[in-house]
Amino acid sequence: MNPFFLIVGAGPAGIGMGILLKQLRIENFGILERDRVGSSFLQWPREMRFITPSFTGQGFGALDLNAISPTTSPAYTLRKEHLSGEDYALYLDLLAEHYDLPIREGVNVNEVVKKENRFIVKTNEGEYEADAVIWATGEFQFPNAAPFPGAEHALHNRYVDSWKNFENGHYVVIGGYESGIDAAVNLVANGNEVTIISAKELHGKEADPSLSLAPYTWERLRKAEQTKRFTIVEKIRVVKIEKKENGYLLFLSNGEQLMTETKPILATGFRSGAEQIQSLFEWGENGKPKLTLYDESTITPNLFLIGPSVAHDQAIFCFIYKFRQRFAVVAKKLVDRYQLPHEEEVFTLYANNQMYLTDLSCCEVKCDC
C-alpha cells in the first residue's frame, strides 16, 4: 500500500512537516493552503517583529529558534535577529522551493469527513481523498474577537495593517500579553497615549515564555514607560463595551467605567484553527484539542495536529522552537503504521537538533535565577 497524506496549511508547521516527509523519502503527499505560503506572517502588522531571536547556533546543539528544519537558519539566510512577518514568509517560500514541496495554494479546506478508513477533504476546488490528514492551520487567522459583550465595537490587533495608520490620540489596549504590549509600544512610538488593561499581572513569576513576556518585549516596554504616555492597569478585565455618541464606554471587572474616544484595541489572543473541524476532535478545558501521545485526535484515527494548538498537560507548544519538536513524532507514527522505510539517520538528525521530543515530562520551564 502507498498511502496518501494531506497536510492542511502552509505556515511553519505545514512546511516543516512537508520537509520532514520529503527527507524521509515519502513523496505521496500534498499540502493545501487557502492563501499562499506564509500567509499569516504576511498579514502581521507591518511593525511587528519576532520576539524569539534568530541566531545561527546549529552544529553546537543550538538550532536557530525560528528554524523549522535542521541545517537551516533564518538568521543565516536573512542576516537579521528579530524578523518581520515578511522576512519569515520569505524564509518559508525559500524552503518550499528548495525542498520542492507539493503545495497547492488558493485551496481552502471547507470540510473533512471520515468515510471508513479514508478522509474526504472538501475544498473550493473539489474533493481530495487521503489516508491521513495533518492539520496545520495555526491560530493567527482565528482571532478571539468576541471575548465579552460589545467586543464587536473594538478592533482586534489581527486586523491591523500598520500602527502608523492610527490618528494621533489616546488608545485603550485590552490584553497585556505579547500582542497587547506590541500594540501599545508601537502606538506610543508614534506619539500616542496608551492605557493597557491587563487581566494578568505583568510582573508574574512564570519562567515559561508561553506564560510570561519575552525579554525583547520587556526592553521595548521599559522604553515606552519612559515616555510617560503609557499606563498599565493590571489584574482588571473589561467585561463589556458600549458604543456611545462620543466614543466607547468600557465596563471593568472592579465595577469602574472608562470612556475612550478612539476605538479600543483588542489583544485578546487567538483561537485554534482546529475549530474548523471541531467535531473530529475531543476538546480540553484549555480550548485545545485533546491528543494522543502521537498528537493524533483521540476520536479520529489518522487525523494529526501540528503547530501552536498542540498541548499536553503542562507542555504548551505555542512557539516555533517548541512545536517543531513534534513533527518527527507524527512522522514516526506514520512510518510505523504504514510500514514505510525507516530512515533512521533522518530521525537521528532531528533528535540531534532538538527536533524530536518524545518525553513530555521534560517540559516544565523553571529558572533558578
Ligand X SMILES: Cc1cc2nc3c(=O)[nH]c(=O)nc-3n(C[C@H](O)[C@H](O)[C@H](O)COP(=O)(O)OP(=O)(O)OC[C@H]3O[C@@H](n4cnc5c(N)ncnc54)[C@H](O)[C@@H]3O)c2cc1C
Type of residue at 284: G
Q: Rounded to the nearest whole angstrom, what is the least distance from the CB of residue 190 to ligand X in the complex?
A: 19
Question: Grid coordinates representing 68?
Answer: 523549522
Question: Given the complex with ligand X, which of 248 and 319 has the nearer CB atom?
Answer: 319
Biggest alpha carbon–alpha carbon distance for the chain: 67
Q: Which is nearer to ligand X, 108 or 227 (CB)?
A: 108
CA angle 72, 328, 74 (to 5 degrees): 15
Phi, psi of 52 (to 5 degrees): -85, 120
As a whole number of angstroms, the distance between CA 150 and CA 265 comes to 13
Selected from 7, 24, 32, 311, the binder of ligand X by CB under 6 A is 32
Which residues touch 130 (CB under 8 Å, ≥6 apart)? Answer: 4, 5, 6, 118, 119, 121
| Binding track over 35-54 against ligand X, x by CB under 6 A | x---xx---------xxx--
Among 3, 30, 150, 273, interactor with ligand X by CB under 6 A: 273
Residue 308 makes contact with ligand X by CB under 6 A:
yes
- How far is it, in rounded angstroms, from Cα 101 to Cα 115? 27
Please give the residues from 204 up to 223 whose contact with ligand X meets the rule CB under 6 A.
Answer: none
Smaller CB separation from ligand X, 34 or 333? 34
> Which of 171, 248 has the CB closer to ligand X?
171
Among 9, 18, 70, 180, binds ligand X (CB under 6 A): 9
232 binds ligand X, rule: CB under 6 A? no
d(CA 164, CA 156): 16
User: Site residues for ligand X, window 60-99 (CB under 6 A)?
Assistant: 66
Nearest residue (CB) to ligand X, 160 versus 224: 160
**Is 194 in a helix, a strand, or coil?**
strand
Residues in contact with ligand X, total (CB under 6 A)? Answer: 35
Nearest to ligand X of 176, 307 (CB atom)? 307
Does 138 bind ligand X (CB under 6 A)? Our answer is: yes
Q: Which stretch binds ligand X (CB under 6 A): 19-27, 222-230, 318-326, 336-344?
A: 318-326
Cell numbers found for residue 240: 463589556
Beta strand 193-198 with 230-234 is parallel
Minimum CB separation of residue 47 from ligand X in Å reads 12
Cα separation, 19 vs 158, whole angstroms: 28
Q: Cα-flanking dihedrals φ and ψ of residue 150, to 5°?
A: 85, 0
289 touches ligand X by CB under 6 A = no
In the bound state with ligand X, the residue whose beta carbon lies nearer, of 3 and 138, is 138
What DSSP assignment string belongs to 303-331? EEE-STT-EETTEE--SHHHHGGGHHHHH
Q: Which residues in this chain contact ligand X in the complex, by CB under 6 A?
A: 8-14, 32-35, 39-40, 50-52, 66, 108-109, 136-141, 179, 270, 273, 276, 307-308, 318-321
